[in-house]
Amino acid sequence: MKTYYDCEPTLNDFAVLEACQRGYHRLEAVVPEEINARARAFLETNTSGEPSEILFEDWFVEGVIKNPQAAGAIRSLLGMNFGLPILMSNHRIEYPTSAQEWHRDGNSKFTHELRNLQVFYLPQDCTMEMGPTEVLPGSHLLYSANDHIKHLDRVRGSEFMSGPAGSIFITVYSLWHRRSSSRRTTTKGVRNLLKYNYFRTAPPQRDWIIDPEFDFATAPYLPSRDLGYYRDVWLAASHVAEMFLWLCGKHQQFKTEGGQTWPLNTARFLDKPYGVPPGL
């Protein structure tokens, strides 16, 4: 299998900005059922927690790793010639089961730089009864040691990565997540969840789909309340703007003066907010 891959980007400015806000991008049922069925059959005979042999199966590489919609989103966020997965994990569980502790995966970095992405693939349907992955939107920009969050139970505003077979969820590596509890089920079953990473190899630049309506001065950097209630949403806006400008290759222009200035959406009777960095 080749180490690098390139394709056309599929996300525009607003979709990339939303990924900076949420820390993830959802794609539902994008993998054909023929590929899902082959993946399920493979995992029934390869039940280890790291079935990396699947990365040498051409049908899997083309159908999942290089899936046009998923790879196009990866290309938008990581740039050209991104690195392909080198390890495959399977969070295979027999349900019903209890919830996992909240955590950030090992070697996570708290940074505005987006140098790798962690992806989850569902080869079968995953309902709420099967204990889907639960994520906390925006938590990729909220540093906390695992020892400080593992005691938490339900967190208001969390989102469940349930979905039909063939769904792919692209996440910033440091996003808080856990396996939720499988609920309201009286029968046993098996749920597979494949997890793998992609890597940046190129300097960041704004080479995704450019939306002519996008304006750096008035773009919606401020997260909606459902994403930021558990933290300072005003600070979150600055973090989101910094990550977005870094992805655009414009990090050297990032500057915020605080108060009612950019990147908050403070334009009322002006064409643009106060404090917009020169050159944007």
- Give just the sign of the alpha carbon dihedral 185, 188, 190, 193: positive
Q: How confident is the model at residue 150 (pLDDT cuts 50, 70, 90)?
A: low
Identify the pLDDT of residue 93: 84
Q: Report d(CA 175, CA 144) in Å as an integer.
A: 11
Identify the pLDDT of residue 280: 86
Identify the pLDDT of residue 70: 98
Taking Cα atoms as reference points, which of 117, 102, 106, 100 lies closest to residue 191? 100
Identify the pLDDT of residue 233: 75
What residues have CB less than 8 Å from 263, skipping those under 6 apart?
A: 219, 221, 222, 237, 238, 240, 241, 256, 273
Cβ distance 189 to 130 under 8 Å? yes
Per the model's pLDDT, the better-predicted residue between 67 and 183 turns out to be 67
How far is residue 8 CA from its own chain's centroid? 19
Identify the pLDDT of residue 226: 62
Judged against a pLDDT cut of 90, whether residue 50 lies above it is answered with yes
Judged against a pLDDT cut of 80, whether residue 100 lies above it is answered with no
Judged against a pLDDT cut of 90, whether residue 43 lies above it is answered with yes
Q: What is the pLDDT of residues 10-19, one digit of tens each?
A: 999 999 999 9
Ranges 132-141, 157-166, 216-225, 263-272: which has the least confidence: 263-272
Judged against a pLDDT cut of 80, whether residue 110 lies above it is answered with yes
Cβ distance 225 to 233 under 8 Å? yes
Cβ distance 68 to 7 under 8 Å? yes
Q: Report d(CA 10, CA 202) in Å as an integer.
A: 18
Identify the pLDDT of residue 113: 96
Q: How large a percentage of the chain has pLDDT more than 90?
A: 62
Mean pLDDT of 57-77: 98
| Amino acid occupying residue 229 | Y
- Cα Rg, the chain, nearest whole Å: 19
Taking Cα atoms as reference points, which of 171, 168, 210 lies closest to residue 14? 210
Q: Helices in 121-266 by DSSP H: which ranges?
A: 146-149, 225-228, 233-247
Phi, psi of 271 (to 5 degrees): -70, -30
Mean pLDDT of 238-254: 97
What value does the mean pLDDT of the chain take? 89
Cβ distance 236 to 17 under 8 Å? no
Tokens of 199: 């890597």
Q: How confident is the model at residue 228 (pLDDT cuts 50, 70, 90)?
A: low
Ranges 2-6, 33-37, 221-225: which has the least confidence: 221-225
Cβ distance 141 to 239 under 8 Å? yes
- Quote the DSSP letter at residue 102: P
Tokens of 1: 């299998």
Task: Catalogue all structural domains in the chain, each as residue range(s) with its CATH number.
Answer: 4-199 (2.60.120.620), 215-280 (no CATH)
Mean pLDDT of 157-164: 89
Tokens of 84: 């392909």
What residues have CB less than 8 Å from 64, skipping those under 6 apart?
A: 31, 35, 39, 70, 121, 168, 194
Judged against a pLDDT cut of 80, whether residue 98 lies above it is answered with no
